Amino acid sequence: MQRDTMLRNLRERQEPWDIVVIGGGATGAGVAVDAAARGLSVALLEAHDFGKGTSSRSTKLVHGGVRYLEQGNVSLVMSALKERGLMRQNAPHLVHDLAFVVPNYSWWEAPFYGIGLKMYDLLAGKYGFGASKLLSKEETLERLPALEPNELRGGVVYYDGQFDDARLLIHLMMTAADHGATVLNYCPVTGLTKDADGYVNGVTACDLETGEALLLKTRMVVNATGVFTDSVRQMADPAAEQLVVTSQGIHLVFDRSFLTGDTALMVPRTSDGRVLFVIPWHGHAVAGTTDTPVDAPSLEPRPLEEEIDFILETAARFFVRPPTRKDVLAVYVGLRPLVKGEGKTSALSRDHLIHVDNSGLLTITGGKWTTYRHMAEDAVDHAITLGKLNDTPCPTKELKIHGYTQDFAALGSLDVYGSDAEAIRTLAKDPALAAQLHHALPYIAAEVVWAARAEMARTVEDVLARHTRALFLNANAAIAMAEPVARLLAAELGRDEVWIAAQVSEFHTLAEQYRVV
Ligand SMILES: Cc1cc2nc3c(=O)[nH]c(=O)nc-3n(C[C@H](O)[C@H](O)[C@H](O)COP(=O)(O)OP(=O)(O)OC[C@H]3O[C@@H](n4cnc5c(N)ncnc54)[C@H](O)[C@@H]3O)c2cc1C
């Protein structure tokens, strides 16, 4: 992916695109992959870096959602379990099985969760990841040695999927580009144009790097802007009623020693009636999440003190060594785009919604990361009908995602790059690029060069937050890495000392929000 080439494609195209996608999160990326793989002409515009929004801030689970089973939403769980299987099949370098243990401290929990999780297995059918089973107290502690043994009766183990969300997002953008899509970051859509009958027939946008205004003519516009959905709908119709409500979830990241072993902890009912996970991820332990309604969407939401306290207090009930504020290496926050309905945000449906405004603007929102492919198929099917586009069947059930390889185990810390790891290893033959950027994290200089050359990374934040996950794993380490990363990027992108200083300073300000003091 070359940014200059993408920009040139947008400038030079005279005829209308089949589809212009607004938003470069999981939903928009899925739509771009689907449309491009069907042979449609597609352009995707993202206001910031790909994945800057919710799609880099999830719990990192590829799951049916045990919780939704409890809510009685069997069809959502079944469809998500099928998607979970397809994700692992098409991106095995990024989606892995993970064992989860639900510890039992009361007599009724073993039969209750045991039966519920058997039902979860059954719903997965041929897409199952492994059979759940009851564990004795000893077996439970073997899997989760850090667990509080006092009054522990046993547990239930079940299996779900886990992934690196931002990395999958980047590989989806690369998949879309591999199939001929034009995708551009740092290019917000600023308005929509309409024909004489009032139907949307184009978008206006601004390339933030040059300030250049762009006009893209198109047959269909797909609005995939997550929590920003309604602001884009209001570009077409200022009176458009609210479709999406926003709820915030935070995660705390700790040293791996808080969760020894390869098994995740699942707390099925916290004091506020939610689910909490503590999962191993990239050599760390991630605990979350919360569900706090928020009024206005933002790209950099902040954690509330009570959310931090809630996760620490809940974790303290389950671990022999309770984590404290000073153990938190990073806190990250995401905003859920939820389809508006009645009741608490935690009870709102995680189903997706396709909505078509009178102007013909097609909005796709809600859903989950796990269901991105199915959402995209649904959206492109609708776009084909509404825009009278060339109708070809959706090929994504079998479509391999960029980086696909079965041999990821041999790639060490570069495993998330899949088949691209070889190119990074070649770069690292230069000893200067083989250097690790911080002793606490495995990232090497060659990854920064690769991010700039092949993945359209433009800033220090892009590299440290999404192309590597340094900021999400250890905010202090990421701060220490900012200057070397800025220098490597400057050499690749042709930037000067003033740019380096500004990048380092901006990153330090941002990273402060990922620290807990
Ligand atoms: C705390 C939390 C935990 C979660 N955990 C999981 C999980 O473990 N598993 C799971 O399956 N799902 C999970 N989810 C849900 C999942 O993360 C979301 O459903 C998904 O990421 C939403 O993707 P999206 O593309 O719709 O939105 P986003 O990722 O927010 O993408 C929308 C994009 O639109 C861009 N945009 C906005 N306005 C414009 C404009 N005018 N022009 C151009 N671009 C624009 C934004 O910059 C943004 O990048 C979680 C969600 C949260 C909040």
Using the mean position of ligand 1's atoms as its centre, give its distance from the Cα of residue 397 in Å.
Answer: 22
For residue 147, the 8-state DSSP code is: B
Residue nearest to atom 50 of ligand 1 (CA): 58
For residue 54, the CA-to-ligand 1 centroid distance in Å is 3
pLDDT of residue 345: 65
In the chain, which stretches have pLDDT less than 50?
Answer: none
Q: Which of 368, 372, 462 to mutate to test the pocket of ligand 1 (most atoms within 8 A of CB)?
A: 368
Residue of 115, 127, 138 whose CA lies nearest to 160: 127
Task: Write the CB contacts of 377 (distance below 8 Å, at least 6 apart in sequence).
Answer: 34, 394, 396
Give the pLDDT confidence of 347-403 residue by residue, as tens digits: 666 789 999 999 999 999 999 999 999 999 999 999 999 999 999 999 999 999 999
Confidence at residue 383, expressed as pLDDT on a 0 to 100 scale = 98
How many other C-beta atoms lie within 10 A of the C-beta of residue 432?
10
Going from the Cα of 197 to the center of ligand 1, the distance in angstroms, rounded, reads: 32
Q: Which amino acid would we find at residue 134?
A: L
- Give me the pLDDT at residue 195, please: 97
Is-contact 225 232, C-beta < 8 A?
Answer: yes
Buried b (16+ CB within 10 A) or exposed e, 341-362: eeeebbebebbbbbbebebbbb
- Number of Cβ atoms within 10 Å of the Cβ of 206: 18
265: region left, alpha or beta (phi > 0 left; psi from -120 to 50 alpha):
beta
Q: What long-range pairs does 207-214 form, CB within 8 A, spacing at least 24?
A: 207/7, 209/3, 209/458, 214/10, 214/11, 214/187
Q: Which residues contact 182 (CB under 8 A, 6 or more apart)?
A: 6, 9, 10, 42, 43, 44
* Burial profile 125-152: b = 16 or more Cβ within 10 angstroms, e = fewer: eebbbeebebbebeebbebbebbbeeeb
- The residue nearest atom 21 of ligand 1, judged by CA position, is 55
Compute, in angstroms, the gap from residue 226 CA to the centroid of ligand 1. Answer: 5
pLDDT score recorded for residue 113: 87
